[in-house]
Each structure stands twice: as structure tokens, then as C-alpha cells.
Structure 1
Amino acid sequence: MHLTMLYRGPLASCDYDCGYCPFAKRRDSREQLRADRAALQRFTGWVGGTSDEVSVLFTPWGEGLVRSWYRDAMVALSRMPHVRRVAIQTNLSCRLGWIADCDLDTAAFWVTYHPTQVTHDRFVHKCEELMRLGARFSVGIVGVPEHLDGARRLREALPDSVYVWVNAAEGHTYTDAEAALWQDIDPLFHYSRHAHVSKGLPCRTGDTVISVLGDGTVKRCHFVPQTIGNLYDDSFRAALRPRPCPLATCDCHIGYVHLAETGLYDVFAGGILERIPLSRGRPDRKKTESSGWQHPGP
């Protein structure tokens, strides 16, 4: 069995102060940080002991890689032979030398550029360091109007082999003319521009893709609140099955990428979790995600 797991522990603090983010400059207490560390170590231990093949995407509310335990988890998980991929969403503000300790056929990075928090030159230097290390990564930006020039500069500064994505800004409506400007930067922006109608449509979440919280609570995805079991007592397994989406729409990439209707498992084959299209990177020998789907029964 191959399970894709989106892990989100208690961490909710960030070193950046983005105006569009509710977790900007938020600080966790020492107790909260200790709880987050313990939860992540428990999760890493579970992955190390399972007989399943596993892919993991860390989706912390805050910035994980400034914490040593997320860096340690990335290294440890990447070196487990049954882990196909371990990736993390990050602003890349941490030091990067530790990445050399990862198995770089397995580790990958979903990097977000925040122009109000870091200079263009510093951020591009970080991306160049990732390239020198041989790390797999995509890099992107939130598509608010004031970021357009920064996004263009970023696209021009990086080689074509690096995919630069654009996330539609929450609550922002794009005219066709505005959308075309972002589409010039990210040829796949049209997938993000509008929420995807999803109710009743087949989705891999709850079947081969699950969301895991720090205490082991398992949900089908981050956006459907119902619990389907717990990781640590194995109760989630009985609930795994093909099923349709219960929500009217899905507007986040980490959700709609798993909708069968979008066809994005073919677009991102080999790079689902780190958001690298097949056209921008080779699918690795042990990491290509299956695009097969069985429609839910009645």
C-alpha cells in the first residue's frame, strides 16, 4: 500500500510578517514548541515502523525549517527506503547546509517567495544554493497585484527548469486581463484562478491520501473536518476507501490536486507533493505517484 500523508502538527508560529497571513510573526510558547517537537518525532517514528510505502508533505501553519526537529525529520525520512517522497512548504529563511545530509532523490521543497519579507537578491541566492545542492524544489508567490513585478523578476532570475507557480490570492477576483499577466509567469495559473467545483466528484483523499494532525488524528484532507480515525491505533485503515468530495468547492492546491477530475496527477507526475510539473523535472526511480483511480461505489 502507498499512502500520501499531509502532516500538520501544533506549530503555528512564523518568522515572517505577511499581511495576508493570520500566523504572521506569531510566537509559540516553549510548551507549544515542545509539544510540536514530540508530535513530529512520534510521527517520524511511526513512518519508520510502518510496512506501507509512504509519501509525506509537511504543511505547517507556521515556518517549520527554522526548527531543528523539522530539519531532522526531513533528513531521517528521506533516508528511509520505503519513503517515496518527503517535502515541506517553506519560506526558505533557514540555513540550507543541512540539506546535503538528505537523500536528494527523496527530499523536496515547496518554496514560497514573500517580497515584503526578504529582498529579491537574498531569495534568489537561496534558490541558487538549492540548485547547487541538487535539491528538488518549486518556488512560487501569492498573486496579489503588488507582487506582480516581484514575480516577474523572480521568473526572469531563475532557469526555465525551475517551476515558478502563482497561487490565486484568497478573496481576489481576477479579470481576464489580470489573469493573463499571471499566466505569463505560471502557465498553470488557470488551475488556481477559480475554485474547483468538487461536490460529488471522485477524490483520492480518504483513500490513498490522508491528513494527519499532531495527535495522530486522521482526516481525509485538511479541508474536510470529519475525523476518520487515528494513526497510532491504526483505526484509520478501516475508513480508507474511494469516496467523492463532500464540499461544494476546493480552492487550495494541496486539496484539488487530488481531485481525479482535474487530471493534475498527470500534469505533476513524479512531483505531486513538491508541485513540480512533469515537464520541469524527471520522475524519480521510486517516487512516481500512481494516477490510477477507481470510482466510488454507490
Structure 2
Amino acid sequence: MKSIIKSMLSKSLWRYIALKRRLPWGPYKRMSSRDRNSFASMLSIWRPSNALPVILLEWNMTRWCNYKCSYCNQPHQRFARNGKYTAHAFDNFPLEDWLSAFARHFENRRLALLISGGEPMMDKKNMLPFLQKLTVMPTVEYINISTNASWNPKMYEGLDLSKIMLLLSYHPTQVAQESFFNRLDELLEFGFKIGMVNFVMSKDNFAQYSDFKTKIAKKGVPSHSSPQWQLRGKYSKEELAILKQELPEMDYSYRTGVISTFGKKCLFPAVSYQMDQTGHILVSCHPQVTGSFFDQSLPSVFAGPVPCPHISCGCLHKYSLLKGSNRDTNVNILQIYSNILKQKQGINS
């Protein structure tokens, strides 16, 4: 019965939002002077008056992965099919088509690109030429790549790394700690910038985190005690106490669901998109506003900050653009968070 009521309320909410989106004076079509003032510092970064605006694109490039973690429920095969599409972007459309679309959509807008998976770096054929082309595009601000670090950095010999930052994830059941640290050293020696290392705080991992954090801090890299999304609301008081100690206050509150984001004004849907491996793209957090990356133009982002339609938010790049977050020193949110973690963990930059 509860699930039926929840579903009905959710449908009613999205109908209401769809109606509000059509109103010419609503926040989706027009930014009020109050919102312009409240978000002035963020807008000066993302929509500066003296430079091109910035678009943040979260691209789930692939569901293909060489790890099979118990807390991950996605398919892992490269050619796993969902209708006519497979699990990897470059199997669904040629690399040239993707590059052409990137060039078209970001000729007059700057791009902050977040690539995730699956494991994006498993594609040994296409990732190097893709990154080579994007890093030389003048409108590309930076590229953040989420990866498990299971690949050899020597494959990327000659690549300009100045715009690239890695977000590593350590999965204790899939790789020995010593092997992971050896690969981390190789990446650093090769020249890759590493924003942080995600340590998923599953029930089985809590006891290992403290030792891991100490060891990795010696390498100048911050660790991130990442709450497991599926366990939100199911952590014990003792486990929550550990997370509260390890995470910055805002991140603890949103990532564990202690504080709801529902109804709070957020700039994220005014500056960002989310896209999957098929090119299906949506204005972030609003699945009704969609299009294809291969269309001539993308669906329009909103005019300014709009109320969050979700009960909770566990994504760093999203809740960092909520009203009052005060994380607006530059568009590379991973770099900002990395600096916050380094300061908290006593790591010298």
C-alpha cells in the first residue's frame, strides 16, 4: 500500500512540475531577481558575464566493468543488450559520431565533463583518441574520470593530462590493497592528477577504512568514506558516527539522507545534463526533459535555480550547487572537494 501511495504522489509531483515548466514566469523559464542575488557567486562561475557559460555533463559512458562488486547491481558484460543498444557508448555509435556531437554542442559553451561507468578505461581502442580530441578542444574546461585504476597508464603515453583528473575507487573484494597502491603510484608517477579515492562503506568494509585512509594519505591523496547508496537509512548508530567523523558536515548530511533536498533551490538543472551510453540525454534530475546527444541541439537547461524534486541527493556535483552550499570557487567540483578532504585529513597539497 505504501509503495502505491508513493508512486501516486511521485506521478502527481512530476505532473505539477511539468505544468510549472510551461509557465513563462516560473523559475524554469525565468530567473527571478531574488534567485539571481542568492546565487550570484555561483552564477559568476557557471554563467560569467565576460566568458562563455559552462555546462556540466555527467556521462555514464558504459556499464561494462571488469569488477563484480556485491553492492553493484548493473550488468557487467560489454555486449549486454538493452533493446538495440549494448553496454558501451562506442559500440552503439562510432567514435567519430560522438566527437562530432561534442564539437557541435560545445562550440559556444564550455564543457565540464564527468565520465563514469562501469569502467570507462577498459576500452583500449577508443578512449585514447577520444581523450586526445577532447583535451585539445579550447572549450573543454576539464574531464573527470571515475575509474577503478585496473588499467596500465602507459597506454596513454603522449596524452595531455592537464585537463584530466581521476576519481579512483578502491574495492577490497576485487583487488588486493598492495596491488591497488602499486597502481596508484604508477598513475601518480605517470602524471595523472587524482582527486580522491572512493572507499565504499559497505557493512563489510568499515573495519578496513581507518588503516586505508592512513596509508593513502602518505601518498598525498585524500580518501573518501563513501556511504553505500543502497544502505541509506540502514546504517547503525555506530556506523553513522564513523561517517559523521570522516565526512564534511554537508556531505555527511546529504549522502546519508539525514537532510532532505526536497524543495531546496538548486542551480544544477540550470547548468548540467546527464547522459547514458546510448546518447539519451536529460536536463539533470528532470527525466521528462530529454533528447538525444545526436540531435542538432540539446534540450534547454532551465533559466536558473529550481526546487529539488527529489527526497534525497547523494551526488557531490548536485548538492554542491544547492543554495547555501558555498562551494563555488571554480567549476571543477571534484578539485574543490579534494582540497576540502585534504584539509580535513591533514594532507599538504
Which residue in the other structure is 2:15 paired with? none
Q: Which runs of 5+ in 1 are unaligned?
A: 282-298
Provide the residue aligned with 1:156 in structure 2.
214
Larger Cα-atom Rg:
2
Identity within the alignment, %: 20
- The alpha-carbon deviation at position 181 of structure 1 amounts to 2.6
Alignment check: 8 A CA contact 2:78 2:86 kept: no
- Structure 1 residues 45 and 154, CA, compared in 2 at 3 Å: closer, same or farther? farther
> 1:107: Cα distance to partner?
0.6
Q: Deviations over 1:13-37 (max 9, x none)?
A: 2111111111264442597267634
2:165 corresponds to which residue? 108
Paired position in structure 1 for 2:72: 21
Q: Which of 203, 224, 227 is residue 286 of structure 2 equivalent to?
A: 224
Indicate how the Cα distance of structure 1 residues 184 and 244 shifts in structure 2: closer, same or farther if over 3 A, else same. Answer: closer
Q: Secondary structure at the match of 1:158?
A: helix
Between the aligned partners of 1:154 and 1:34, the Cα distance in structure 2 is 32
Distance 1:102 1:132 in 2: 14
**Contact 1:224–1:247 at 8 Å: present in 2 too?**
no
Which structure 2 residues correspond to residues 151-190 of structure 1 after superposition, within 5 A? 151-159=209-217, 161-169=220-228, 170-172=230-232, 173-187=234-248, 190=252
**TM-score normalised by structure 2 residue count:** 0.69
CA drift at 1:118: 0.1
Q: Tell me if 1:36 matches 2:96.
A: no
CA distance in structure 1 between the aligned counterparts of 2:71 and 2:151, rounded to whole angstroms: 21
Alignment partner of 1:145: what SS? coil
Q: 1:166 deviation in Å? A: 1.6
Map 1:121-136 → 2, pairs under 5 A: 121-136=178-193
Q: Distance in 2 between matches of 1:52 and 1:13?
A: 30
2:108 pairs with 1:48: no
**One-letter code aligned to 2:71:** Y
Q: CA deviation at 1:79?
A: 2.8
Residues 57, 113 of structure 2: 8 Å contact kept: yes
Q: Give the 3 Å change call, closer, same or farther, for CA 183–71 of structure 1 in structure 2.
A: farther
Match of 1:2 among 28, 36, 54: 54
Deviates more, 1:88-97 or 1:225-234: 225-234
**Cα gap change, 1:186 to 1:99, in 2 (>3 Å):** farther
Pick one of 108, 115, 123 that aligns with 1:67: 123
Question: CA offsets per residue over residues 38-93 of structure 1, 9 Å max, x none?
Answer: 54723333223423211100122x11111122343233322322211111111111
Alignment of 1:80-95 (within 5 A): 80-95=137-152
2: CA distance between counterparts of 1:261 and 1:40? 42
Q: CA deviation at 1:253?
A: 3.0
Query: SS of the counterpart of 2:108?
Result: coil
Task: Return the match for 2:268 from 191, 197, 205.
Answer: 205
TM-superposed CA distance for 1:228, in Å, is 3.6
Which deviates more from structure 2 when the two are superposed, residues 159-168 or residues 50-59? 159-168
Code of the aligned partner of 2:214: E
Query: Can you list the C-alpha shifts for 1:193-217, whole angstroms capped at 9, x where unaligned?
Result: 2264222222223311111234443
Which runs of no fewer than 5 residues in structure 2 stay unpaired?
A: 1-52, 343-349
- Alignment-derived partner of residue 278 in structure 1: 339
User: Which piece of structure 1 moves more, 81-90 or 256-265?
Assistant: 256-265
Q: Alignment partner of 1:117: what SS? A: coil
Q: What code does the residue aligned with 2:146 have?
A: Q
SS at match of 2:151: coil
Distance 1:264 1:117 in 2: 34
- Quick one: structure 1 residues 178 and 35, their matched pair in 2 at CA, closer, same or farther if it must change by over 3 Å? closer
**Match for 1:2: what amino acid?**
V
Label 1:264 to 1:166 Cα distance change in 2 as closer, same or farther (>3 A).
farther
Match of 1:236 in 2: 298
* 1:219-275 per-position Cα deviation (integer Å, ceiling 9, x unaligned): 122x43223444333443544422222222223334323333433445xx4641467
Distance change (3 Å), C-alpha of 1:212 and 1:25:
closer
Kindly provide the amino acid, as one letter, of the partner of residue 151 in structure 1.
Answer: Y
Q: Which residue of 1 aligns with 2:7?
A: none
* Greater RCO structure (CA 8 Å; 6+ sep): 2
Q: Which secondary structure state, in structure 1, belongs to the residue aligned with residue 111 of structure 2?
A: strand
Aligned length: 277
Q: Confirm or deny: 8 A CA contact 2:143 2:165 kept in the other structure.
A: yes
